[in-house]
Amino acid sequence: MLGYGIGMAHEILRQSVRAAFAAAVTCAAVAGLAAVPSSRAEPRPVVPTDRVTVPGLDGTRIAPLAPGEDVAATVLLFVMTDCPISNRYAPEIRRLHDEFAGMVRFWLVYVDAERPVDELREHRSSFGYPFGALRDVDGALVARAGATVTPEVAVFDADRRLIYRGRIDDRYVSFGVARRAPRIRDLHDRLGRIVAGDTVAFSETRAVGCYIPGA
């Protein structure tokens, strides 16, 4: 009987220790959850599209997506001065600008904005771009458009909604591999529909070109 009583006492003690340990673990877990700060960052205020400003080549701050009278769409063309594919598309971009002038607003967006301004001016002049140029010094336009390579275009409608992002056309199959002529003129076709008054839903294509650092 004495042995039986000692055994029962040990069993009761063991159960008490287990219960105390479990309670301690639970308390520690709850305390840990309370002590660890949430990993979710505070939501950043959304800057309205028409308030995004970047410097032009003369240093003036410009809001390229601000509403414009009789402007059906705005095209942001992301380029780098030393990207060969960007430079080869200059003639096509000039043709598109001429065709849609007065209805569509074009902006040349330099993502290599750390280059000297004189170099950017020379690049724009040598390739004959007939519209304004911007320096995306802090990547605000790249982020707003979701661009990842150059050349890549982002098209915003009159309500500043992004409705197209991607290639100019399908001339380039991959880097260094190109067709003689494009089969699909993505940018031209979408601008034509916008100018005609069609409702254009968002669409995206894969652009081929030079990767934008940090995008």
Average pLDDT value for residue range 157-182: 94
**pLDDT number for residue 49:** 61
Q: Do 104 and 26 belong to one domain?
A: no
Q: Do 99 and 190 belong to one domain?
A: yes
Average pLDDT value for residue range 201-212: 96
Q: Do 170 and 96 belong to one domain?
A: yes
Q: In this structure, how many other beta carbons lie within 10 angstroms of the beta carbon of residue 89?
A: 25
Q: Do 4 and 56 belong to one domain?
A: no
**pLDDT number for residue 27:** 34
Q: How many domains does the chain have?
A: 2
C-alpha span between 165 and 187 (Å, rounded)? 9
Residue 149, exposed/middle/buried by CB under 10 A (0-12, 13-18, 19+)?
Answer: buried
**pLDDT number for residue 19:** 42
Domain limits for position 13: 1-40
Residue-wise pLDDT tens digits, 115-164: 999 999 999 999 999 999 999 999 999 999 999 999 999 999 999 999 99
C-alpha span between 57 and 136 (Å, rounded)? 11
Q: Do 35 and 84 belong to one domain?
A: no
H or E stretch at 29: helix 2-35
Residue-wise pLDDT tens digits, 42-101: 333 344 566 899 999 999 999 999 988 889 999 999 999 999 999 999 999 999 999 999
CA dist 28 → 21, 23, 24, 38, 109 (Å): 10, 9, 6, 18, 54
- Residue pair 104/75 in contact (Cβ under 8 Å)? The answer is yes
Residue-wise pLDDT tens digits, 7-39: 444 444 344 434 443 333 333 332 322 232 333
